[in-house]
Amino acid sequence: MALNFDENAPVLEIKDLNLSYWTRAGEIPAVIDFSLTVQKGESIGLVGESGCGKSTVAMAIMQYMGGNGSIKSGSIRFKGVELTELPPDELRTLRGSHISMIYQEPFAALNPSLTLGTQLKEVPMTHEGISDTEAHDRAAQVLADVRLPDPARVMAAYPHQISGGQQQRVVIAMALLSNPSLLLLDEPTTALDVTVEAGITKLIADISRKYGTSQIYISHNLGLILEVCDRVFVMYSGEVVEEGTINSLFTWPRHPYTHGLFGCIPLPTADKNAAPLRPIVGQLPLPHERPHGCNFGPRCKFFEDGRCDAKDVPMEPVAGTTSDHRVRCVRWREIDHSQDVAHGDAKDPMEIGDAVLAVEGMQKYYEVHDRSIKALLAGKSVMYVKANEQLNFDARRGETVAIVGESGCGKSTFAKVLMGLETATDGSIRHDGNDICKIPVRARSPQQIGSLQMVFQNPFDTLNPSHTIGTQIGRVIKKFGVETDKTKIRARVMELLDIVKLPRDFYIRRPRQLSGGQKQRIGIARAFAGNPSMVIADEPVSALDVSVAAAVTELLMEIQREHKTTLLFISHDLSVVRYLSDRIVVMYLGQIMERGTTEAIFAPPYHPYTEALLSAVPIADPEVTKREIVLEGNLPSALNPPQGCPFSTRCPRKVGTVCDDERPPVQMASDTHAIACHIPLEELARVEPVIVVPSEEERAHVAHQ
Amino acid sequence: MATIATVPAPGYGAALMNALRSFALLRESIVGMAGTALVLFWAILALGAPLFAPCDPNATLLAFAKPGTPIPIADACWSDTFILGTDNIGRDILSRIVWGARTVLTWAPIAAICAYAVGIVLGLAAGYYRGWIDDVLSGVSNIILAFPVLVLYILIIATFGASPLNIVFAVTFATGPLVMRIVRGLVLDLRNREYVAAAETRGETAWRIMLVEILPNARGPLIVDGCLRLGYVIITIGVLGFLGLGLPPPDPDWGGMINETRQMALAFPHMTVFPCIAISSLILGFNLMADGLREISLRD
Amino acid sequence: MLIFILKRIGQMLLIMLIVSVMLFLLLEINVESVAVKVLGQYSTQEQRELWLQRNGYYDPIYERYGRWLWGFVTGDLGESVRFKKPINDFMWDRLWNTAVLGFWAMAFIIPLALVLGILSGMREGSWLDRTISVTSIITTSIPEFASAPLLAAIFVFGLGWLPGTSSMIGGFDWKQLVLPVAVLVIYDFGYVARMTRASMAEVMTTHYIRTAVLKGLPYRSVILKHALRNALIAPFTVIMLQIPWLLSGVIVVEFFFAYKGFGALLLEASLNQDILLIEAASMVAVFVVVATQTLSDIGYTYLNPRIRFT
């Protein structure tokens, strides 16, 4: 079966594509009027929030829409060959050889009961009919290309035996095996830790350079798109609302939605007082409830009655900019975004009061029993996981303290001890004067419990689906003894709903009827029901879309400001942390690597780990320059951490065996800034800043060119 | 004045409404509808047994009558033919089937509810507390489940004698551990939800968390399993009757009817065929209902 | 892996031990009733006491239990009151007969259920799937004690093709095995088929199947190499657990068709309160259940690389 490719045609050409899903409720258009051309070697970014149709486009290119999806109209041509009319067996020769895909969750994408070698080899064996040994050599070669150490071992392993980052490298290798012309990447780094993500992103960028492969890169993260793409398409509710080259679109966004998105992302210069985030109001319309005319209309502040909702809005080229910049807005000529600053008005900084929380030498060890013969013989059947080791820090009234670290760093364990779900092994945690680290939650008084509450991570999990919103918040009020009278409880629930800016009729609603952002608001209301002196927020916005996350973050800040609450903010995202916290604690493998005020953390001297974390955060601003630091290796197992400095196995600035063998000393760079490292402070202070933000004059200079 | 208010735990009324609503959703599944129709048919017959049964189920009238035979003595019955014939000692089969429906639909749900009550309580405790409580409960249930089910029933009934209460006890004893396993599995999953953590961080008691926060969210799979389980209990009661270990005669019991007449089955098949069809159709009803409910729960 | 197997076997022995205590207590705690059961209702008090004395029933209970357990372990199962001969002489033949019945039932159930389940789960929601699903629900709704008379009515009374009893008095006869096997297959295959379908349908929606399709593999290879491998892990356990389930089923079938098997023996022993025979047969039944559970656990671990290599 020879497909007749036209090598002069664009690699991919999509024209006026309309895709629909068929459900019990009827037809739901998923992608509307979509056109896209990919030239050889080009990287296209497809960016948008969840439900905007970006993954559907990728599946349509692959012609894999599932039972209920179908292409209604339009054409998809790959090197001149029309894919929508291709018979199944010809399509098969195309998939995996000419067009390959890289997926969001590498672990789910790999077959758990076949060795990785088998899964890799079958690609060239199917498409090129080569022998097993030949395929084996090829697979080993490509595994080396994606910088996996010891390809032979990887090929003999099953997916669960290697780490998440390695799994994604295997998936990438699998996609590259037949040297495809087009690579589709569907959020390839979303499921990975920040420092691992940085490595994968760099690998993907190198590959497109080395092989000349065209890419379509799907992501919700504008910063990532900026790092890897040449052109970008912004999607909203099934439509492309704006497209253009990276430079043009990031410098002069024309569509109010694109512009709004930038207002929702904390930039490296911004903090909560100087330039608060400016969330987009409202939420994404459901696919079957899309408005007339512009889909973004109801959330747009430039909305004009009778014009914006009159008829479907076509894409229009933007004159006077770099070629190819197009926008779907009837008012793009009139709106002058330069008059409209992306960020909200400045506020006065909060007053910081007395210490509310003091953590001293806190330790939490878990016992793990190893019942293998080897361990029994060696007498090591009981091992300890040091989830938290020697934590020291404090938090004061009205202050926001952030705990930053990747998965497994012990930040969630610390939250559990604080809340009394676990008790500490050693040390003390003083909250409002009492040592609480060994008092389990059921032994605490209602006032104690009520004054220390938590906002949870997962909006789909945080509320009990069986009970109404009113019952759930009311229960908290009653439990903490804030009110006892039924009508007063009800009144207080209403008041809390007002505080989190939700309509009062949510009282009788069930969690199922709420969107993710709304659920998270209820979670915040619940945490503040007992007038807490301190609230722990465990990644409260990481599962939300950018525009919604910004609104929830702002709400949290506002309530904190009003109630002068201490906020302990747990996160892996340094840009959010920089934006909202006063002080930062950086953790790695259960230990504090560095702590200090936000300014101190973000400027040299850095702990080498902080330095790597800073470099790993994608920034959605083309003018900001970053020093590239890619960490090698994996996170060590918590069961068997390095003897000396926990970071010694991956540290790019390792000074010698002292790092492996000895605990690093805690060095005080200032009264409040501590770094646990063997490298002398003077040397660390000489390090160049990781992120360089141009001054206002420099920016103006660039804009005029 | 004493004010004894039976206020249900918050959300329980609502949870019940939800459970009812999921039954109402059955109308969207053809299979589920068919099952509900079958179950309703038998439930109505059982409720109105005195109205629907043409004769006294225990009256001896005319032995070995085939279906359609006219009834000789008119005052024992309001019908003038044996629609389904009579059995070996001359009792009207239709009447015995109708009254048998009442027997089975009384004792099967009671037994199933007892097994569920025990299984849910133990499963909640094992799944929520884990540790040694779980070890002990799981160990005990493993021992009970080490017997082939029917062997266990035969041992219990043969030792303690055949009576409705002993059957309820035997079913609870043998099925409770199975229900416990299912509940335990569901709880092990649900207890990691953040709303459970939220309840723990506000210092709720363990039983409140189990009953108010966890159990209502396990209702979907439990309702489906409950329908299937009811089918099994009906089979159990039938098997015991069939083996001569069931409810004591003369009151009609479908399994017993099959047993009493099976020697005649080769000459007068109607005596056994009709009770067989009756019991199979009722079990089919519950199985179809379970399938319909599962289909609907997967859809959303 | 080795330690896991040893551990499972240890657990198995522990369960057997506890079960033996339970059985012993259930049946022999009341010494008087033992004598009644053995000597019959019309024996005199003196006869009973004499018998009890002679057979050591007045010894402390733990001694009696120890003696019984030792006898059981060394293969001395005692004598059946009902059959008036040592249990060893006939129980194993009965067990063999049941094994033959069970073997043929499984020989039909496994291929039938797997093929239907896989076909049905491969294309969830298709017409084929719906037909297979509804058929299997209907067949699993007909319990053995209902399908046996129904089949007998059709094939014995109606068509006269097959014999109505399977006592095999005149030696082994194929024809006599057909109906008992058919009854067991009808009731059981639907359940296994539905479990297989659920497992297959779940695997077909996983991302790694999508990966396999989008790699451009032929559909055959996606199903045979990628899907079946994972989809058959769950049905393996289900099939293993059907063996204890069959042990219940054979009681009904052997009773109805007068087949001289283990199930009928157990039932007869229970109905006649033949204590030593009940104990011996129950222990054998429990052993079969626990052994299949252990095998299925070990097999599951072996089939599932995620557990095998950790």
CA distance B54 to B81: 9
Interface test with A, best of B194, B209, B210, B214 (most A CBs within 10 A): B194
CA of A439, closest CA in chain C: separation in Å? Answer: 36
Please state at what angle helix C174-204 crosses helix C233-257, rounded to 10 degrees.
Answer: 150
Tell me the DSSP string of C129-178: HHHHHHHHHHHHTS-HHHHHHHHIIIIIIIS--S-S----TTS--HHHHH
Instruction: List C-alpha distances in Å: A572 to A196, A219, A402, A412.
Output: 12, 18, 10, 11
Question: Half-sphere exposure of A57 toward its Cβ, with a 13 Å CA cutoff?
Answer: 37
pLDDT digits 0-9 by tens, C105-156 = 999 999 999 999 999 998 888 899 999 999 999 999 999 989 988 888 888 8
pLDDT digits 0-9 by tens, A219-249 = 988 888 888 888 999 999 889 999 988 888 8
Is A372 close to C233, i.e. CB distance below 8 A?
Answer: no
Q: Which token pair is B216?
A: 């209502």
Per-10-residue mean pLDDT, chain B, length 300: 37 61 69 90 89 79 74 70 78 87 92 95 93 91 89 86 89 93 93 90 90 91 91 92 82 85 78 90 93 78
Query: CA A441, A442, A443, A446 torsion: positive or negative?
Result: positive
* Chain C interface includes B129 (CB < 8 A): no
DSSP code of B77? B
The pLDDT assigned to B10 comes to: 43
The pLDDT assigned to C83 comes to: 79
Percentage of the residues of chain C whose pLDDT score is greater than 70: 99
Is A92 close to C216, i.e. CB distance below 8 A?
Answer: yes
pLDDT higher for A340 or A123? A123
How many beta-carbon contacts under 8 Å exist across B and C?
127
Which range, of A379-393, A643-657, A681-695, C233-247, averages the lowest pLDDT?
Answer: A379-393
By C-alpha distance, which of A615, A617, A593 is closest to A674? A593
Interface test with A, best of B27, B195, B223 (most A CBs within 10 A): B195
Is A464 close to B217, i.e. CB distance below 8 A?
Answer: yes
CA distance A99 to C171: 67
Q: Which residues pair with A69 in a beta bridge?
A: A21
- C230 near A113, Cβ under 8 Å? yes
Average pLDDT of every residue of chain A: 85
CA distance A244 to A320: 13
CA distance C68 to C79: 12
CA distance A143 to A59: 26
Is B279 close to C143, i.e. CB distance below 8 A?
Answer: yes
* Mean pLDDT computed over A349-364: 83
CA distance B234 to C163: 29
CA of B176, closest CA in chain A: separation in Å? Answer: 25
Interface test with C, best of A1, A95, A111 (most C CBs within 10 A): A111
CB atoms within 10 A of CB B250: 13
By C-alpha distance, which of A102, A85, A378 is closest to A218? A102
pLDDT digits 0-9 by tens, C209-220 = 999 999 989 999
Q: How confident is the model at residue C279 (pLDDT cuts 50, 70, 90)?
A: confident
Which contacts qualify for A165-170: CB closer than 8 Å, 24 or more apart?
A165/A192, A165/A193, A165/A196, A165/A199, A165/A200, A165/A634, A166/A634, A167/A106, A167/A107, A167/A110, A168/A102, A168/A106, A168/A192, A168/A200, A169/A143, A169/A200, A169/A203, A170/A106, A170/A110, A170/A116, A170/A120, A170/A143, A170/A146
Is A453 close to B205, i.e. CB distance below 8 A?
Answer: no
pLDDT higher for A339 or A3? A3
Name the residue in chain A with its Cα closest to that of C218: A92
Name the residue in chain C with its Cα closest to that of B284: C141
By C-alpha distance, which of A347, A366, A466 is closest to A408? A366
The pLDDT assigned to C227 comes to: 93
What is the CA A605 to chain-centroid distance, rounded?
A: 27
- Residue A316 has phi, psi (to 5 degrees) of -125, 140
pTM of the model: 0.86
User: Residues with Cβ < 8 Å from A540, sequence gap 6 or more?
Assistant: A455, A456, A457, A520, A523, A524, A552, A553, A556, A569
How many beta-carbon contacts under 8 Å exist across A and C?
82
Please state at what angle helix B270-299 crosses helix B254-261, rounded to 10 degrees.
Answer: 150
DSSP code of A285? P
CA distance A275 to A554: 11
Tell me the DSSP string of chain C: -HHHHHHHHHHHHHHHHHHHHHHHHHHHS-HHHHHHHHH-TT--HHHHHHHHHHTTTTS-HHHHHHHHHHHHHTT---EETTTTEEHHHHHHHHHHHHHHHHHHHHHHHHHHHHHHHHHHHHTTTSHHHHHHHHHHHHHHTS-HHHHHHHHIIIIIIIS--S-S----TTS--HHHHHHHHHHHHHHHHHHHHHHHHHHHHHHHTSHHHHHHHHTT--HHHIIIIIIHHHHTHHHHHHHHHHHHHHHHHHHHHHHHHT--SHHHHHHHHHHTT-HHHHHHHHHHHHHHHHHHHHHHHHHHHHH-HHHH--
Name the residue in chain C with its Cα closest to that of B139: C15
The pLDDT assigned to B2 comes to: 37
User: Residues with Cβ < 8 Å from A466, sequence gap 6 or more?
Assistant: B11, B14, B15, B18, B216, B217, B219
Q: Which A residues 143-162 touch C at CB under 8 Å?
A: 158, 160-161
Q: Which of A114, A127, A373 lies closest to C3 in CB terms?
A: A373
* Chain A interface includes C3 (CB < 8 A): yes
Burial classification of residue C159, based on how many CB atoms lie within 10 Å of its CB (0-12 exposed, 13-18 middle, 19 or more buried): exposed
Name every chain C residue with its beta carbon within 8 A of the beta carbon of B281.
Answer: 141
Instruction: List C-alpha distances in Å: A431 to A415, A447, A469, A559, A597.
Output: 13, 12, 30, 21, 21
Percentage of the residues of chain C whose pLDDT score is greater than 90: 31
Q: Which A residues 502-531 touch B at CB under 8 Å?
A: 523, 526
pLDDT at A322 over 50: yes
User: Residues with Cβ < 8 Å from A460, sequence gap 6 or more?
Assistant: A516, A519, A543
pLDDT digits 0-9 by tens, A424-438 = 888 888 888 888 888
The pLDDT assigned to B6 comes to: 35
β-sheet with A326-327: strand ranges across? A99-102, A182-186, A214-219, A43-47, A231-236, A239-245, A326-327, A316-317
CA distance B289 to C141: 12
CA distance C78 to A539: 69
Name the residue in chain A with its Cα closest to that of B217: A466
pLDDT digits 0-9 by tens, A95-137 = 988 999 999 888 999 999 899 999 999 999 988 889 999 999 9
Q: Which chains neighbour A (Cβ–Cβ under 8 Å, 3 or more pairs)?
A: B, C
- Residue C293 has phi, psi (to 5 degrees) of -60, -45
Name every chain C residue with its beta carbon within 8 A of the beta carbon of B279.
Answer: 143, 146
* Mean pLDDT computed over A488-512: 90
Average pLDDT of every residue of chain C: 86
* Chain A interface includes B203 (CB < 8 A): yes
Tell how strand A534-538 and strand A566-571 pair up: parallel
Q: Which amino acid is at A249?
A: L
- B182 near B119, Cβ under 8 Å? yes
Is A105 close to C233, i.e. CB distance below 8 A?
Answer: no
pLDDT at C248 over 80: yes
- Residue A9 has phi, psi (to 5 degrees) of -70, 160
* Mean pLDDT computed over A341-347: 63
The pLDDT assigned to A2 comes to: 61
b/e burial code for range A265-284 (CB count within 10 A of at least 16 → b)? bbbbbbbbeebbbbbbeebb
- A73 near A1, Cβ under 8 Å? no
The pLDDT assigned to B170 comes to: 93
Is A449 close to B203, i.e. CB distance below 8 A?
Answer: yes
* Chain A interface includes C207 (CB < 8 A): yes
User: Residues with Cβ < 8 Å from A147, sequence gap 6 or more?
Assistant: A169, A203
Interface test with C, best of A113, A127, A372, A376 (most C CBs within 10 A): A113
DSSP code of A442? G
Interface test with C, best of B142, B145, B150 (most C CBs within 10 A): B150
* Chain A interface includes C5 (CB < 8 A): no
Instruction: List C-alpha distances in Å: B22 to A460, B32, B294.
Output: 21, 11, 10
Q: Which of C137, C142, C149 lies closest to B288 in CB terms?
A: C137
CB atoms within 10 A of CB A433: 9
Burial classification of residue A615, based on how many CB atoms lie within 10 Å of its CB (0-12 exposed, 13-18 middle, 19 or more buried): buried
- A616 near A640, Cβ under 8 Å? no
Q: Which residues pair with A559 in a beta bridge?
A: none
CA distance A162 to A120: 15
Question: In sequence order, which ranges of A581-626 are alpha helices (DSSP H)?
Answer: 598-601, 608-616
